Structure 1
Amino acid sequence: MKNILIIGATLLLALSVMQCGAPQTSDNMITHTVYFKLKHPKGSEEEKAFIQKAVDLGAIETVHNLRSVKEVSPKNNFDFGLIMQFEDQAGYDFYNNHPDHVDFVENVWKKEVVDFMEIDYVPNE
């Protein structure tokens, strides 16, 4: 009986640890996507630094599931993308107005991005 309790407790602990690392997502989240082309040469240190600064925005508390993606198709002129989710409009607005995001847009994005497309969407119900 003691072994069964230990196994059960171990399984519950493992499940709770897995849940903590699981993406926080639901079907009704706002998905914010932006696809862009940088002025930097492909593979350059400047390009890598830009991507890291963008990914660092994931530290803003209302951002969920931030991913940086790289284009693999020649169907458009964008090289990279950022995809993130927000629980609701208030979370999205908090991110947009957050000092770290505003600083990034003004001092990094506007200086280093030559073209972009932004799409924000919610599930079609």
Structure 2
Amino acid sequence: MIRHTVVFTLRHAEGSLKEKSFLRDAQVLGDIPGVSGFEQFRQVNPRTDYRFGFSMEFADRAAYEGYNAHPRHLSFVRERWAHEVERFMEIDTEPV
């Protein structure tokens, strides 16, 4: 199992329609074959300035790589993520 987590800050004003649109439209990522447990979350830790996060799981490396190469993922990254995300950090983990 691989867990993919990304935390990020959008360029949009907090609570704006553009922010809500981005989060709503990002839900398509959870429908990509191989993705399970897709979640969106809002940061509550005052010691970090990342505002949101996504988390999802993959059964194995093949599912993870399939997601990364999937046209829906590539399109979202190209058309939305690259223009609307100010900064981010991602981490991909597997159980030890």
**Category of TM-score, reference length = shorter chain:** over 0.9
Q: Which runs of 4+ in 1 moved over 3 A?
A: none
C-alpha distance in 2, partners of 1:77/1:116? Answer: 10
1:24-35 correspondence runs (5 A): 29-35=1-7
Question: Could you tell me how far 1:74 is from its partner in structure 2?
Answer: 1.1
- Percent of aligned pairs with the same residue? 45
- Which residue matches 2:37? 65
Alignment-mate amino acid for residue 96 of structure 1: N
C-alpha distance in 1, partners of 2:58/2:47? Answer: 28
State the structure with more CA Rg. Answer: 1
Q: Which has the higher contact order (CA 8 A, sep 6+)?
A: 2
- Among candidates 47, 50, 55, match of residue 75 of structure 1: 47
Query: In proportion to residue count, which structure has more strand?
Result: 2
TM-superposition CA deviations, 1:67-121 (whole Å, max 9, x none): 0000011111100000000000100010000000000001100000000000000
Q: Does 2:76 match 1:104?
A: yes
- Which residue matches 2:89? 117
C-alpha distance in 2, partners of 1:45/1:85? Answer: 28
Query: In proportion to residue count, which structure has more helix?
Result: 1
C-alpha distance in 2, partners of 1:55/1:69? Answer: 12
How large is the Cα RMSD of the aligned pairs?
0.6
Q: Would you say how many aligned residue pairs link Structure 1 and Structure 2?
A: 96
- Among candidates 61, 76, 79, match of residue 89 of structure 1: 61
DSSP 3-state at the match of 1:41: coil
